[in-house]
Amino acid sequence: MRKIFLIVITLLTVTATYSQNKKRKPVKKKPKTVAEAGMQIGYVTSLESGGGGNFVAGLVGEFGVMKNLSIVPSFNYHFTEKVEDIKTTVIEANLDGQYYFLNQKGFKLYGLAGLNYTHVTSKVEIPAEYAEYAEAEGGSEKSSDGNIGFNIGTGIKFDFGGKIVPFSTLRFTIADGSAFGIFAGAKYAF
């Protein structure tokens, strides 16, 4: 019995010593990928219609693809005013690439470039007394148009290590009806 006990103790000691001396492979850490989603508000000025502008609200996301490069989709709704009997609805979708060229503790500066699609719908209310001139019976007529453009801009992102990440962006859209916009918002980091 004593021999069996000594053999078991010897085997346990050899096994423990062998496992401690065995080189362990370092664990590779996966690079941190950025995934954020949030909301933004802003003001967009049309550069071709005499400088009138609209307040804007929208959704924005950010998906990191490389260390300093992100893909940023956004969707915005423009709050337009009804002028006389014409109501205009403007929505836009953007797909931008953001490159972080300055990454300091607490904030990051980035440049952006990408595509813009703006869809404009106009609805004209036709009073019944003018129906004979409009070849209609009163009511309304609608027309819509889409426009593809190119975005360029810059911005700052305030990253204090929390889950809520505020940001601000200046963006110029080159299109048939070019516009300049300033946006601010916050994203939730996943």
Is the pLDDT at 172 greater than 80, yes or no? yes
State the pLDDT at residue 81. Answer: 85
Q: What is the mean pLDDT of residues 45-59?
A: 82
Q: Which of 98, 91, 92 is nearest to 72 (CA)?
A: 98
What is the structure's pLDDT at 18? 56
pLDDT tops 60 at residue 159? yes
Rounded CA-CA distance 99/110 in Å is 5
Which of 91, 143, 148 is CA-nearest to residue 115? 148
